[in-house]
Amino acid sequence: MSIYLSGIQPSGLLHWGNYFGAIRQHVAAPAAGGEHFYFIADYHALTTSKNPAELREWVREVAVTYLAFGLDVERAVFFRQSDVPEVTELAWMLSCVTGMGVLERAVSYRDKVERGLQPSVGLFTYPALMSADILAYDSNFVPVGPDQQQHIEIAQDMAASFNALYGPVFVRPEPSISPFAKVPGLDGQKMSKSYGNHIWLFASGKELKKAVGRVVTDSRPPEEPKDPASVLLFDLLRLFLDDAELAEWKRRVQTGGAGAPGYGHLKQRLVEAAEAFFAPARARREELLRDPAEVDRVLARGAERARARARATRDRALAACGLR
Ligand code: ADP
Ligand code: TRP
């Protein structure tokens, strides 16, 4: 039986990159069978968030977003990380079989420090908590973006060290990297809220138009033939258009001449396509925001199911290392 697990941090409003790189895969996967665990990584968010009201709101936003896109919460276990405190116990046990060097090499930690974040102990041991998340549910596949691959390799190492010392307690997880690996942001770098180059998933109307208006272009006139690969807008349009329509726009841009579409036309099409693509989920989100009790009920039920599994793994680990 394949077990899939992934988490997403409630650390801000979600953007197109989060949807195409993560959420979409998570929502689609349960229909193909197997067991699925998706959770809101609120313990992880504490490494950066220090504002309780904001954190609460962002947790709700992630919950509402998954439900708005139609995650099937019967097939998938959907829950809040901090409702399963067993993962913090597992994180401790895993930390004790892991050398400092493993965490010191973590790229994501080093990036954050280089960007000027004052590292807390929590930020440093973040991959141990993430390993616990992965190992607690015996998951074998972890669908994430490429930036998380190293964390999954760390989970593999931690599982292997623990098993080598104490016997086969943990299942080896494998990363499963999204095909839409990188959604570019307004400036062409990876879309990320930390770069401020993102477009909010549920942006609509004027807000969406304004955001798309900021996608970087150059001063080449519409009639000049252009290599479509040199036009950033195509990397965004491909998220929404079908292959035939995308090919037609590219052909016209490549041919150039009178009547060729300019960047303004491409932006207009992008606004329309994104607006329509997200409209059903946007409407569903509004409904869910008006019914917080329903969202709480879903999370409580998910927590119960997740916790049963995590408790069993925790008990196995405690027994193996001599704490029971
Ligand atoms: P951000 O970079 O905005 O802080 P996170 O690191 O919280 O986003 O990412 C949450 C999830 O969304 C991860 O699985 C990550 O791989 C995915 N993701 C984030 N940005 C992108 C992007 N630009 N393209 C594809 N996937 C992305
Ligand atoms: N670190 C992940 C991120 O920032 C979130 C996360 C926490 C996660 N625990 C996880 C992802 C376990 C996959 C599996 O995107």
The pLDDT, as a whole number, for residue 245 is 98
Residues 7 and 144 in one domain: yes
- What is the CB neighbour count within 10 angstroms for residue 17? 24
The pLDDT, as a whole number, for residue 238 is 96
The pLDDT, as a whole number, for residue 179 is 65
Q: What is the domain extent for residue 222?
A: 205-285
CB 254 within 8 A of CB 227: yes
Residues 302 and 251 in one domain: no
Tokens of 206: 């004027």
What is the CB < 6 Å shell around ligand 2?
A: 5-9, 41, 44, 130, 133-134, 142, 144, 148, 151
Q: How far apart are CA 45 and CA 43, in angstroms?
A: 5
Residues 108 and 231 in one domain: no
Mean pLDDT of the residues in the chain: 96
> Whose alpha carbon is nearest atom 18 of ligand 1?
18
Q: Give percent of the chain with pLDDT exceeding 70.
A: 99
CB 17 within 8 A of CB 190: yes
Looking at the predicted structure, is the pLDDT value of residue 42 above 80? yes
Nearest ligand 1 atom to alpha carbon 184 = 23
The pLDDT, as a whole number, for residue 289 is 96
Residues 92 and 236 in one domain: no
How many Å lie between the centroid of ligand 1 and the Cα of residue 126? 17
- Quote the number of domains for the chain: 2
Taking CA atoms, 227 is separated from 37, 183, 218, 253, 258, in Å, by 42, 19, 13, 8, 17
Residues 108 and 256 in one domain: no
Question: Is 30 within the bounds of a domain?
Answer: yes
For the segment 257-287, what is each residue's pLDDT rounded down to a tens digit? 999 999 999 999 999 999 999 999 999 999 9
Nearest ligand 1 atom to alpha carbon 190 = 23
Instruction: Tell me, using a 6 A CB cutoff, whether residue 144 lines ligand 1.
Output: yes
Looking at the predicted structure, is the pLDDT value of residue 43 above 90? yes
- Known catalytic residues are 112, 190, 193
Residues 100 and 177 in one domain: yes
Instruction: Tell me, using a 6 A CB cutoff, whether residue 18 lines ligand 1.
Output: yes
Q: How far apart are CA 233 and CA 216, in angstroms?
A: 8
Longest dimension (CA), the chain: 78
Question: Is 27 within the bounds of a domain?
Answer: yes
Residues 304 and 161 in one domain: yes
How many Å lie between the centroid of ligand 1 and the Cα of residue 164? 33
Residues 178 and 238 in one domain: no
CATH number at residue 275: 1.10.240.10
Question: Is 108 within the bounds of a domain?
Answer: yes
Instruction: Tell me, using a 6 A CB cutoff, whether residue 239 lines ligand 1.
Output: no
Residues 307 and 268 in one domain: no
Residues 77 and 51 in one domain: yes
Nearest ligand 1 atom to alpha carbon 11 = 7
Question: Is 102 within the bounds of a domain?
Answer: yes
How many Å lie between the centroid of ligand 2 and the Cα of residue 247? 35
The pLDDT, as a whole number, for residue 180 is 61
Nearest ligand 2 atom to alpha carbon 139 = 14
Instruction: Tell me, using a 6 A CB cutoff, whether residue 17 lines ligand 1.
Output: yes
Looking at the predicted structure, is the pLDDT value of residue 165 above 70? yes
For the segment 75-114, what is each residue's pLDDT rounded down to a tens digit? 999 999 999 999 999 999 999 999 999 999 999 899 989 9
For the segment 1-41, what is each residue's pLDDT rounded down to a tens digit? 899 999 999 998 999 999 998 899 999 999 999 999 999 99
How many Å lie between the centroid of ligand 1 and the Cα of residue 320? 36
> Whose alpha carbon is nearest atom 15 of ligand 2?
8
Out of 39, 133, 174, mutate this one to test ligand 2's pocket (max ligand atoms within 8 Å of CB): namely 133
CB 110 within 8 A of CB 117: no
Instruction: Tell me, using a 6 A CB cutoff, whether residue 186 lines ligand 1.
Output: no
Contacts by 203-209, CB closer than 8 A, 24 or more apart: 203/274, 204/275, 204/278, 204/279, 204/282, 205/275, 208/271, 208/274, 208/275, 209/271
Question: Is 195 within the bounds of a domain?
Answer: no
Question: Is 227 within the bounds of a domain?
Answer: yes
For the segment 173-191, what is each residue's pLDDT rounded down to a tens digit? 998 887 666 899 999 999 9
Taking CA atoms, 106 is separated from 96, 152, 303, in Å, by 17, 11, 29
Phi, psi of 141 (to 5 degrees): -125, 135
Q: Which ligand ends up closest to the CA of 174?
A: 2
Question: Is 193 within the bounds of a domain?
Answer: no
What's the predicted TM-score (pTM) here? 0.95
Residues 274 and 301 in one domain: no
Q: How far apart are CA 126 and CA 27, in angstroms?
A: 25
3-state SS of the chain is CCEEEEEECCCCCCEHHHHHHHHHHHHHHHHHCCEEEEEECHHHHCCCCCCHHHHHHHHHHHHHHHHHCCCCCCCEEEEEHHHCCHHHHHHHHHHCCCCHHHHHCCHHHHHHHHCCCCCCHHHHHHHHHHHHHHHHCCCCEEEECHHHHHHHHHHHHHHHHHHHHHCCCCCCCEEEECCCCCCECCCCCECCHHHCCCCECCCCHHHHHHHHHCCCCCCCCCCCCCCHHHCHHHHHHCCCCCHHHHHHHHHHHHHCCCCCCCHHHHHHHHHHHHHHHHHHHHHHHHHHHCCHHHHHHHHHHHHHHHHHHHHHHHHHHHHHCCCC
Residues 149 and 225 in one domain: no
The pLDDT, as a whole number, for residue 194 is 83
Question: Is 196 within the bounds of a domain?
Answer: no
Out of 55, 147, 180, mutate this one to test ligand 1's pocket (max ligand atoms within 8 Å of CB): namely 147
- What is the CB neighbour count within 10 angstroms for residue 247? 12
CATH number at residue 129: 3.40.50.620
Average pLDDT of the segment spanning 205-215: 98
